[in-house]
Amino acid sequence: MNIQVEDIRLNLGHIELAGHVFGPEDGLPVIALHGWLDNANSFARLAPRLRGLRIVALDMAGHGHSQHRPPGAGYALADYAYDIVRAAEQLGWERFALLGHSLGAIISVQLAAALPERVSHLALIDGLIPPTGEEQDAAERLGMALRAQMRLDTKRKSVYSTQDQGVEARMKGMVAVSREAAELLAQRGLMPVAGGYSWRSDSRLTLPSPMRLTQAQAMAHVRHVKCPGCLVVAAQGMLARREGLLEQLPFEQVTLPGGHHLHLNDEQGATLVADCFNRFFGFA
């Protein structure tokens, strides 16, 4: 599929984000947010198939070609949400839709709940709420996170002698992806270093969260969303086995065959997700 893609860089004052732009200038404004340790190329197959949309697919902070947060800072969900609002202001978008996968879907839900007047549509791919915790575990979790943060200075990123080795490592990651998906992510994710290649992503992204919402807090965000929403559930993904959670949702839900990265792993998955979202946005 030969589709023109524009590069974009947005200076938000506190950080600079990079990304890709798809679709006509007069299309419905959409900000697309990828998953954990991925980048804007997560939407390389899906975005060209979506009609009537002006999609800005960002490398979120610490990912891809975007800047890392300064020393001492972290990657809290609220900080990502702030980045997105600032990015919308740079784009001149008072109101916009959100298209999110995994971590990007979680951030999208929280932002739509927090600022319902800003978000027109919510299109989610196999993501909804963050991992939750129990109140009584809060101190233990903070201690674990602080110890991991202190150990980070002694850790070194993996270096691969060839780009192909880096691609193979991504294929076998915590969430496996197809070779084609890994190659697309590597285009924005791998960088040359002494001795070979390494992934660009900030090492702090692998640190455990110092605090988690309770299940009730997380679901309160979901219930506070005012805009239309559509959730694609991957049949072999992360949400399909959480039937109790899915039964509580006010969104339209569609279950499609494939794994967690069904929109990126192959052309068929991208087409199925696109057909779903084109109907949702009214451009079928």
Query: How many Cβ atoms sit within 10 Å of the Cβ of residue 211?
Result: 11
Can you tell me the distance from the alpha carbon of 112 to that of 79, in angstroms, rounded to the nearest whole number? Answer: 14
CA quadruple 227, 17, 147, 194: dihedral positive or negative? positive
Cα–Cα distances in Å, from 19 out to 10, 22, 188, 261?
8, 10, 10, 19
Let me know if 102 is a catalytic residue: yes
Side-chain-side CA neighbours of 168 within 13 Å: the count stands at 7
Can you tell me the distance from the alpha carbon of 110 to that of 149, in angstroms, rounded to the nearest whole number? Answer: 25
Radius of gyration of the chain measured on its C-alpha atoms: 18
Adjacent-strand bridge partners of 183: none
Query: How many Cβ atoms sit within 10 Å of the Cβ of residue 23?
Result: 22
- Name the burial class of residue 45, with classes exposed (0-12), middle (13-18) and buried (19+) by CB atoms within 10 angstroms of its CB: buried
Catalytic residue among 102, 108, 198, 201: 102
H or E element that contains 135: none
Can you tell me the distance from the alpha carbon of 147 to that of 280, in angstroms, rounded to the nearest whole number? Answer: 45
Catalytic residues: 102
